[in-house]
Amino acid sequence: MINEKNRQGESSKSAGGWAAVAAELRSAIDGRRHAPGSRLPSERALSEQFGVSRVTMRRAIAELEGEGLLRVARGSGAYVRADMPVRFQLGEKVRFSKDLTATDANLTRKVVSAREVPATPDIATRLNLQPGELVLEMCVVAHADALPVSVVMRSCAAERFPSLAERFAATGSFTTALRDYGVTDYWRRSTDITARMPTEAEARFLQQSRQVPVLAYAGEDIDADGTIISCQIGCFASERVVVTV
């Protein structure tokens, strides 16, 4: 009996290369044999599965990427485009747990790096600090299940919020962590949203191509006294997030 792997390889060869491979992969994606958001097997594994060269396989993947069915992240692989958009409700109070919602998805955030650095002129202006004052700079990546949906650099005055990254890691919530510093509530003062191409680091964190635009945003949070407590500069994966105002 000929197994599925051999049938795919034979049909791909007989049909003439990358176009046939792309057609079979497209059919597998449409049939949910590769789930939305899932990572495809490696290029080498797919080449062996379909019985074609890696050059042919690469061309087929590029075709499906151009169609919007796949997204290719350099150094990570090819991913089936997710068809469940995460919805972000933009308002005065910005709370990750309440404002970012996705059907049947587990939403999580993780601080991937944290450091104290001198404030740049832009960050100093946003935080109402003097240039060069120390700020705590935290890179935070949000996921819907295993799929990254946003990456943001969150900055705050290091003197006022020492060890904030550790307290967030312990609680999983900035709102809860901020209470330890006397911030009982806070609001988003303003948010600017623009479309642009991602940086190399953003594309890597979001596991997407640098040729796919992101929804970039920048904003500041204030406490009950109107004092700026943090600023956030980051982006959403435009194919995975819908922003509602």
Alpha helices per DSSP H over 81-146: 96-99, 121-127
The CATH code of the domain at 4-80 is 1.10.10.10
pLDDT in 10s for each residue of the chain, 245 residues: 334 444 444 444 444 588 999 989 988 887 778 877 778 999 999 999 989 999 999 999 998 888 778 878 777 788 887 665 677 766 666 655 555 555 556 788 899 999 999 999 999 999 999 999 999 999 999 988 778 889 999 999 999 999 999 999 898 889 899 999 999 999 988 889 999 999 999 999 998 878 889 999 999 999 989 999 999 999 999 888 877 76
Burial of 195 (0-12, 13-18, 19+ CB in 10 A): exposed
Chain Cα centroid distance, residue 5: 33
Question: How far apart, in whole angstroms, are the C-alpha atoms of residue 144 and residue 85?
Answer: 10
The ranges assigned to domains in the chain are 4-80, 86-244
Judge contact between 78 and 233, C-beta under 8 A.
no
SS3 3: coil
CATH says 86-244 is which class? alpha beta
Judge contact between 83 and 36, C-beta under 8 A.
yes
